[in-house]
Structure 1
Amino acid sequence: MENPSLFVTYDMKNKRESKEEVLWVLGKVGEQEPIFLSSRARGIFLIQTSLDPKEVTKKLTQLCKEQPDLFWYTYNYIPIDVWCSSELDEMEENVIKLAEGIKQDETWRITVNKRFYGKYHTIDIIEALAENISWGKVDLENPQKIIQIEIIGKQAAISLLEPSDIFSVSKVKSEI
């Protein structure tokens, strides 16, 4: 089975309703048979989609702008480029490959979220990974590219994203 390509955070007190919401909204953007894979972290769905996950999040953003009342129980939808071990050397290897997508004149940042992982402090992970990127310019507030790392125990989901690739329900609703 393939690795999940979509990382979704949701209201863990309403798992059933959250799953129904995900199924409904993904169906509205063309994904009729998403596969939910197990996650040991509460409040997170790991989803395998047959569609391009970055296109899915863009379509969900538009759907939320048009019909914000469809979104009550889910919070963030994040496309995933690659899964690897949460060992620092393996994350470094994957970040270096993905960072090739950052152009010389672009700004970037690294965002790390950890669950069931205490091996390194977040700032230590960011510093270790950032030292491998010598081009572009760091911009923590308004980057053109985001290296997003979601760690769950021994696994890490890593993506190179533009800010518009991440669908945040609260952000979209606040802009309406």
Structure 2
Amino acid sequence: MGFNVDFNLVVSTGRRLEGRCADELKYIGDLVGMRIAQTSFTGFDGLITGYVDGDPVEFTRRLRELVSSGRYVPRFVLKVVPIMRTVKTDIEEISKAAVELASRYLGPNETYKVEVRKRGVDLDRRDVIDSIASRISNKVKLENPDKVIQVEIFPSRTGVSIIREDDVFSLMKINVNTQQGNA
């Protein structure tokens, strides 16, 4: 792939279910009409990455529609985070990518928050957030922001996205919505 995207989905499942999760992800891709070109195990329990041909945000939206309509309920795909860009795991590269995406996907009056998930790296969460937030003039809003700058850090590659909170597919949240929240 010419534009160096090694993954554009980060998918959570149960421990030791990574293989079944990868198979199910491919099956879901067929159901929603978006091919999953590859999946790989991250080396962290219950976590795989995938590459969908097409827009990863569109994929999570179609997946949510599929599940909330009751046509298919995943058994192994518990959560899917769409990734717009991957970069080397380096604080400078990460914030550069985030700022660049913000200039495209964050409206001038939109609020945002930075969400960082890190695995197996000793980068400080706070430092990552500061390096991004210090370069974006929009207002930060921790509760119900317009957009989330999602940063998924792995030892060698980091995924960055600017999405709405509900662009992350979460099986648990969808179940809650259908059973009138017993949160």
Tell me if both proteins adopt one fold, taking TM over 0.5 as the criterion: yes
Matches of 1:154 and 1:81 in 2, distance apart?
A: 17
- Counting only pairs closer than 5 Å after superposition, residues 1-176 of structure 1 correspond to structure 2 as 1=1, 2-67=5-70, 70-100=73-103, 101-118=105-122, 120-135=123-138, 137-176=139-178
Unaligned runs of 5+ in 2: 179-183
Shift of 1:164: 2.7
Matches of 2:36 and 2:159 in 1, distance apart?
A: 22
Q: Taking structure 1 as reference, are residues 15 and 92 closer, same or farther at Cα in structure 2, changes over 3 Å only?
A: closer
1:70 is paired with a residue of what secondary structure?
Answer: coil
The count of corresponding residues between Structure 1 and Structure 2 is: 174
8 Å Cα contact 2:151/2:159 also seen in 1 = yes
- 2:121 partner letter: Y
Shift of 1:19: 2.4
Percent of pairs with identical residues: 25
Matches of 2:118 and 2:124 in 1, distance apart?
A: 9
Shift of 1:86: 1.5
The answer to which of 12-21 and 144-153 deviates more is: 12-21
2:181 aligned partner: none
Shift of 1:69: 6.0
Deviation track 1:28-74 (CA, whole Å, cap 9, x = no partner) reads 10134531135233322211111221111001001111227622222
8 Å Cα contact 1:108/1:144 also seen in 2 = yes
Q: Normalized against structure 2, the TM-score is what? A: 0.87
Larger RCO (CA within 8 A; separation ≥ 6) = 1
Unaligned runs of 5+ in 1: none
Q: How large is the RMSD of aligned CA atoms in angstroms? A: 1.8
8 Å Cα contact 1:41/1:152 also seen in 2 = no
